[in-house]
Structure 1
Amino acid sequence: MAKTMQNEDDPVGEPGSRPMVPALPKAFAILDLVAREAGIGFTAIQKTLGLPKSTVHQLISTLRDIGALQPTSDGGYLLGLKLCELGTIAADQRTIERIALPCLKALSMEVTMTCHLGVLEGDAPIYLAKVEAEQDIKINTWVGKRLSLYRSSLGKVLLAWQPETVRERLISQIEWVARTPKSLPDADALRQHLVGVRARGWATDDEEDMLNVRCVSAPVFDRQGNVVAAISAVGTVLQVSPEDFPELAKRICAVAAEISRNLVHG
């Protein structure tokens, strides 16, 4: 659930940071909420964000005027077509997706699984690219989807190679929700798990975020040796058994290494 926004008179931003235009974080909070709850109405937006009705009314009107929000016939809201246009342009401008996509396509065809590229944005992993495999059972993922840092294999990879201070800060912000009986229960279990991830060079999600779904991820490094992204292959338990993890990971790590080399030389 979205966090309650600050009142109009509250200071915006961290101490010592540049001042923000007060309306911008609130407008983006509305867009983020509509992105997660398509068709949400005015009252639900206002109550969820805890903003004055007049503020929500003004922001929604402005977002509609610029094409960022689109009203529905039953009084709700969807993201507007202007955001689709900007999203497409933003994707085209990002080098890593352009470099990684041919490699992801080849990997998806080889392993017959849906493959993703993701990065850490703020305190959560997010999918930047997706290649859907031709298979009978499809797993519901999309570009822009945010993932768990500790239940997803991609999140674990992006967390494992962070500097210790950054890693500990991110771990301290996790809200521990056991989605399945296999979800890691707490920070100590995650720290121990990440030691193994770094040691072998890849991570798994063995039905930890969703039952009957397994995933393997590997890191993508920049020229300084920093993890800047991760790739993953996801499938059902019918496609992937725990015994398959090492061989699948070997191929995913090889493709991640290829993307890393292309980033350095591209």
Structure 2
Amino acid sequence: MSSYRIPSIANTCSIFQLLTSTRKAMTASEIAKELELPRTSVFRILKTLEEEGMVVAMGKNYSVGHRLINLGLQMISHIPERQLCVPVLQELTHRTQESSHFAILSGTHALFIEVCDSPHALRVARRTGSLIDIHCSASGKVLLAHSSPQACEHLLNRIEFTPRTPNTHKSKESLLPELEQVRSQGFAIDDIEYHDNVRCISVPAYNSLGQVIGALGISSADSRFPKSRIPELAKQLKKASQQLSSQLGYQGKV
């Protein structure tokens, strides 16, 4: 651990990460228990964040504040790939009639920096700024599989392997063979692992150095996305990734 580390700032970052990843407001006691921090320290941090508009208090419960959300959206708007991927996603959704997205790695999550919704009334609803677990999402698996061996090992050791559905990978040992398959076949599948009745597919996008800088994905209700549709959607995604990657200076073939 670095001698320059400031514990109070590190604890604040942990609270931010917990509140942005959870789907419900939490009390100071719940946060302290989850992060294994003193309740008094957590309470003082939360009160400071509340005064700064970073969190919102609803009785004894705390959730992410609008100021923090705005900062996150401003950060996303400055990601250079975002502007380039908008027309690519629009065309992809037009061709497939399914919701599409572009995601980047953010810790043990994939961060959606752009989303294009399906025209169908029944569709997978995602929003820009959403975070999803990397062990049970197609885009997360792409980003994990194409990390360096050291980074991949580090992330695998940090993942909690929270079961979202009966199909979710529950261990590092279970996930590793699939990551190897993702590298060899060029795409990843979320086979109803993150949400019930939802199937997803994703491919990598590359920069001028040949590095994977994000993942293009499609999500759909499994009733419209049977496994027999995987080859078709993989082909459409690779075509879209080729377009985006070329704009980013990539000279190879996706």
Structure 1 length-normalised TM: 0.82
Match of 2:111 among 110, 126, 145: 126
The alpha carbon displacement at 1:87 in A equals: 2.0
Partner SS for 2:193? coil
RMSD of equivalent CA atoms: 2.4
Residue deviations 1:152-192 (CA, integer Å, cap 9, x gap): 21122112222333333333444445544444464444333
Which whole-Å CA distance do the structure 1 matches of 2:180 and 2:70 have between them? 41
Aligned match of 2:29: 43
Partner SS for 1:216? strand
State whether residues 76 and 129 of structure 2, in contact with CA within 8 Å, keep that contact through their aligned partners in structure 1. no
Residue deviations 1:113-161 (CA, integer Å, cap 9, x gap): 1111111222332222222222222324333333333322112211222
Match of 2:68 among 83, 96, 104: 83
Partner SS for 2:178? helix
Match of 1:244 among 222, 229, 234: 229
Residue 155 in structure 1 maps to residue 146 in structure 2: no
Aligned match of 2:40: 54
Report the AA paired with residue 44 of structure 1.
E
The alignment-based identity, stated in percent, is: 26
Higher deviation after alignment, 254-263 or 38-47: 38-47
Q: Which has the larger radius of gyration?
A: 1
Partner SS for 2:126? coil
Aligned match of 1:115: 100
Which whole-Å CA distance do the structure 2 matches of 1:63 and 1:199 have between them? 45
Aligned match of 1:104: 89
Report the AA paired with residue 145 of structure 1.
S
Higher deviation after alignment, 21-30 or 255-264: 21-30
Aligned match of 2:242: 257
Match runs of 1:1-80 below 5 Å = 14=1, 17=2, 19-35=4-20, 36-72=22-58, 74-80=59-65
The alpha carbon displacement at 1:88 in A equals: 2.5
Higher deviation after alignment, 54-63 or 160-169: 160-169
Change in Cα spacing, 1:49 to 1:217, as seen in structure 2 (3 Å) is: same
Higher deviation after alignment, 45-54 or 230-239: 45-54
Match runs of 1:91-240 below 5 Å = 91-184=76-169, 186-240=171-225
How many residue pairs get aligned? The number is: 249
Residue deviations 1:188-236 (CA, integer Å, cap 9, x gap): 4433323332222111122233331111101001111111100100001
Higher deviation after alignment, 168-177 or 239-248: 168-177
Report the AA paired with residue 94 of structure 1.
I
Structure 2 length-normalised TM: 0.86
State whether residues 54 and 64 of structure 2, in contact with CA within 8 Å, keep that contact through their aligned partners in structure 1. yes
The alpha carbon displacement at 1:263 in A equals: 1.7
The alpha carbon displacement at 1:77 in A equals: 2.4
Partner SS for 1:147? strand
The runs of 5 or more residues in structure 2 that have no matched partner are none
